[in-house]
Amino acid sequence: MGEFVSVEITDQIATIRLDRPKMNALNRQVQEEIAECARIVDADPLIAAVILYGGERVFAAGADIKEMAVMSYVDMAAHSRTLQECFTAVAEIGKPVVAAITGYALGGGCELALCADFRVVGESAKLGQPEISLGLIPGAGGTQRLPRLIGPARAKDLIFTGRHVDAAEALAIGLADRVVPDDEVYTAALELASTFVGGPAVSLRAAKQAVDRGLEVDLDTGLEIERLQFSALFATEDAKEGMGAFAAKRRPKFTGR
């Protein structure tokens, strides 16, 4: 894997691990390594679920400001597309993705967490989009994914003020899905991810795509996306197994086909 980002696989669960001391600052190299790891876990049929993890002390404190400070408009106009593509690679992993958040998840770190399906947050964690304090706005999906998750007014509050929210508030507004003691964050994320092991992988991918794509379009188009995904699953072995197992009153044995 990369110098700062790696993939560890145990019992069909892949952990994308950030390790760039001290704060996992998301410079260009880290962004590209995250994207490469995302593509690897997405393509591996033996991986059932994914955890994003920055370690016991911090998830990711944001972009590498020193790297950005010397960039011109021309530089960033070219790089910003790559930046978004790197994060989108995580959002498009066709498997359940859990962000295990300790310490800070700020700026780009918060935007990375927004690319996950679920966020397990440590009690002392801080989340936010503080780019406004730099005279900037979020540039890796924050202005788009955050309002889709917590609503436009709450998202504007965080983006306009740049304030940090603690774990309790994150849970209350829907930015966190579960809050646990700091030293239990990874274990709790692993517990959640493990519920998808042995599940119908094709159906899970279809469900994720239907929800995510449906949020981007009008209701009628979203319903058509759902209809097509739903109908296509009748061509899979897992659907036949699932319905057959239901009729026979037994547990299904899914194969991901």
Structural domains of the chain, ranges and CATH numbers in brackets: 5-194 (3.90.226.10), 201-248 (1.10.12.10)
What is the tens place of the pLDDT at every residue in 28-58?
999 999 999 999 999 999 999 999 999 999 9
**Angle of the 152-161 helix axis to the 142-150 helix axis, nearest 10:** 140
Active site annotation includes 92: no
Q: What is the mean pLDDT of the chain?
A: 96
The answer to whether 217 and 229 have CB atoms below 8 angstroms apart is: no
Catalytic annotation, pick one of 32, 85, 92, 131: 131
Active site annotation includes 111: yes
What is the tens place of the pLDDT at every residue in 169-224?
999 999 999 999 999 999 999 999 999 999 999 999 999 999 999 999 999 999 99
Separation CA 216–CA 77 (nearest Å): 24
Give every CB contact of residue 212 below 8 A, 6+ residues apart in sequence: 91
CA 30, distance to chain mean position in Å, is 16
Catalytic annotation, pick one of 111, 169, 224, 237: 111
Nearest to 85 by CA among 35, 142, 39, 41: 35
